[in-house]
Structure 1
Amino acid sequence: MTFDLARRGLLATAMAAPFIRAAAAQSTFEWVAGSLGGGWYTMAAGLASLVREENPQIQIRVVPGGGLANPTRIQNGQSQMGWGIDAFTAAAFKGEEPYTFAHPKLRSLGTGYSPTDHYLLGRADGPSDMREILTTRALKLATPQRSSTDEMSAQRILRFVGTSPELIRASGGRYLNGSYNDIASAFNDGQVDYVYIALARPAALLTEIAQGRRAAKLIAFPDDIRTHMKATFAYSEASVPPAAYPTLLSAPIMVTAMDSVVLVADTTPEPVAYAIARTFIRNKGQRLSTIHASMEAYDPLTSWQYTGCPLHPGAARAYREAGAMPA
């Protein structure tokens, strides 16, 4: 019996050796996050540090990116992991609009890490109707870079209400793209009157503007716009309470919303994906929320159920061992 157990142990070690060698061969992984100054970048840096703390053999380097482009970077092997958006990741995996080809190499470590609200912020003395604002002549609007899901979402809404960046510019307005820091500065300096962003709550950019020299307010998303974004593009919706941004809101508002997915390539060694997912699961709750308040929403019981792309086998093992996923 003792010899048989020893032989089984040697056999298991031999079978695991290729995975161990693969993990050792690439001990540094690149995590493509969001823009500098945004919540995604902060969260990725905090999670990378947490993973390194519990798994010294895994080093993660965080680089800027955007929700729209990140799946393609992972598909093409430019980055080994990254943040994705639920609806856009599903479109990328299938090769549906706005993507022109399928991304079959995408795998997930689950979703629900950071529910993301969409915001239209405007000058305090301006109108409060989103449609009126977006169709006003000479509108001055800022959004993040074109590689971001923020900007793609803004364009979808503009198209739905009958306008576009080109029409805004043609009417004497301004449609400005830049980093979160750039567009916050543009609003504070009066270069634009409105900002469209998608950030996890609490959004540092909004907190910064709320404390700035220019009075501002958040605009509610009308029912028809939210319905269109849900029915056509698989977004969700959320209610933002005044307590989240006291100087920008006097009553709750409904907004379009989406959620974050941690993506890895299908070539990620099983032990690496397992170790990273296990670290997230073990630190759910207070530890994750200290990295970013929105991450308190992460729930392993539902995280693994995301179907936009396949769950990595290593992550599946971690969720099963934690009792979150059926055997």
Structure 2
Amino acid sequence: MKKVVICIIVSILMVVLTACSNPYATGKKTDMHKTSNGNSGLHVEKVTHLTWAAGSLGGGWYSMAGGIASIINKTNPKIIIKTIPGGSLQNIPFVENGTAQLAWEQPAFIKAAAQGEDPFKKKYPNIVAIGNGFGFNYFHFAVDANSKINSIDEIFKKKIPIKIAVTPVNNTDEWVLRKVLDYYGVTYKDIKSWGGNIFHGSYTEQAEQFKNGNVDAMFTQLAIPGSAITEASNGREMKILPMSNDLIKYLSKYGIEKGILPAGTYPKVVNGNKDIQTAMMGTILVTNKDVPDNVIYEITKIINDNQERLPSIQAALKDYDIKKAVKNLGTDLHPGAKMYYKEMGIIK
């Protein structure tokens, strides 16, 4: 009888110890411990698989996510991150429902998601931030340099039969393009009635369609220099149309700011030797509030410990600054990220 009782007690202890050792088993936060440098910190010691929702294939978001994921894995091989295509509109539900644990986002969409406002139809209360300042994404309205089109206004006021390539429906770029069309009082149906069309595809597909002459224009949102624009301009003469002040003012109500594509960003673009006025949105790294503290703490630490390596992934990351990482988030910081920033003296 004693042996039976002892076996039962041992079995119970094993179950309890196993559950306590796995932060994902109960959903509870991992306790803090001391790191080797004496700071209070959290460390990932078990193999942890994560998914990072980025942007379209061939875009800056996708390459940035893959590059940073590689740095994280090389620093701590226990953290294994898979990158998947996404976009601001898809990434919110991806993180909310657990399809992804990390994602690129933009302030306007984070706020809209929290409040259940356009373009979202419900509230997404579990989105929290790891940090801001991962570059800006600039809108490019690029056309065939030989098309004699010199402004965006001209396209829609003259009802030019133009074929425009953009990301799939309900992706950020496509949503913003529809806002641009709203400004001009135009719809996809109107464009088709003029003899034009809308092609939906990834950045890589858009570049191929442009080079092959199947579309007349590309509407993209990319960290600069955007590889899709560089690739497309290498295969066909291109010009980038500036956005007017009035158009940018209209877009500003959606959290979109005025930006400049600096001269020299795209050497093969015919007007690339001049600054080009356009619109832009910043990039924030978000997660779900239920992702364990130790995972987010260590990811935040690794990214900031390797700040000097970020520009080699994407030039847009050269301006990343830890002091700005906690500002203009549109949501709360994840507790793991907050712990790291407190240790560094960035927040109190």
Matches within 5 A, 1:194-205: 194-205=217-228
> Secondary structure of the residue that 1:113 maps to in structure 2?
strand
In the TM superposition, residue 179 of structure 1 has moved relative to its aligned partner by 0.9
User: In 2, Cα distance between the equivalents of 1:252 and 1:245?
Assistant: 11
Q: In the alignment, which residue of structure 2 is the partner of 1:156?
A: 179
What do the CA deviations read for 1:230-281 (whole angstroms, capped 9, x no partner)?
1x21111211122111332232111100011111111111111111111111
* In structure 2, C-alpha distance between the alignment counterparts of 1:20 and 1:56, rounded to whole Å: 19
Determine the C-alpha separation between the residues in 2 that align with 1:23 and 1:301.
25
Residue 32 (1) aligns with residue 48 (2): no
1:261 counterpart residue number: 284
Is residue 317 of structure 2 the alignment partner of residue 320 of structure 1?
A: no
1:275 partnered with 2:310? no
Paired amino acid for 1:290:
S
- Give 4+ residue runs of structure 1 displaced > 6 Å after superposition: 14-17, 21-26
Structure 1 distance, partners of 2:190, 2:184, is 12
Instruction: Assess if the C-alpha contact under 8 Å between 1:95 and 1:102 holds in 2.
Output: yes
Choose the corresponding residue for 2:324, options 280, 298, 302.
302
Q: Paired residues, what number?
A: 310
What is the Cα deviation at residue 94 of structure 1? 1.5
1:76 is aligned, of 97, 121, 125, to 97
Q: CA shift at 1:23, angstroms? A: 6.3
Q: Is the CA contact (8 Å cut-off) linking 1:123 and 1:217 kept in structure 2?
A: yes
Q: Deviations over 1:17-36 (max 9, x none)?
A: 85449967771011111111
Asked if the contact 1:32/1:63 (under 8 Å) is kept, the reply is yes
TM-score by length of 1: 0.90
Deviations 1:274-293 (A, max 9, x none): 11111111122x30001111
Distance 1:306 1:53 in 2: 30
Q: What is the distance in 2 between the residues matched to 1:63 and 1:307? A: 23
Q: Structure 2: which 5+ residue stretches go unaligned?
A: 1-19, 32-42
CA–CA separation in structure 1 for the residues paired with 2:170 and 2:98: 17
Matched residue type, 1:61: K
Structure 1, residues 60-111: CA drift from partner, whole Å, max 9, x if none? 1111112211011111222111111221122112211000111101011111
Deviation of 1:112 after TM superposition, in Å, equals: 1.1
CA contact (8 A) 1:23 1:269 kept: no
SS at match of 1:309: coil
Alignment partner of 1:289 out of 311, 322, 344: 311
* Distance in 2 of aligned mates of 1:144 and 1:15: 43
Separation in 2, partners of 1:159, 1:312: 36
> For 1:46, which of 63, 67, 76 is the aligned residue?
67
Distance 1:61 1:292 in 2: 18
Larger-gyration structure (1/2): 2
2 CA distance for matches of 1:148 and 1:241? 26
CA distance in 2, matches of 1:110, 1:78: 20
| % same residue | 30
CA RMSD, aligned part only?
2.1
In the alignment, structure 1 segments of 5+ residues that lack a partner are 1-13
Separation in structure 1 between the aligned mates of residue 77 and residue 115 of structure 2, nearest angstrom:
35
| CA distance 1:298–1:223, change in 2 (3 Å) | same
Residue in structure 2 matching 1:173, options 196, 204, 210: 196
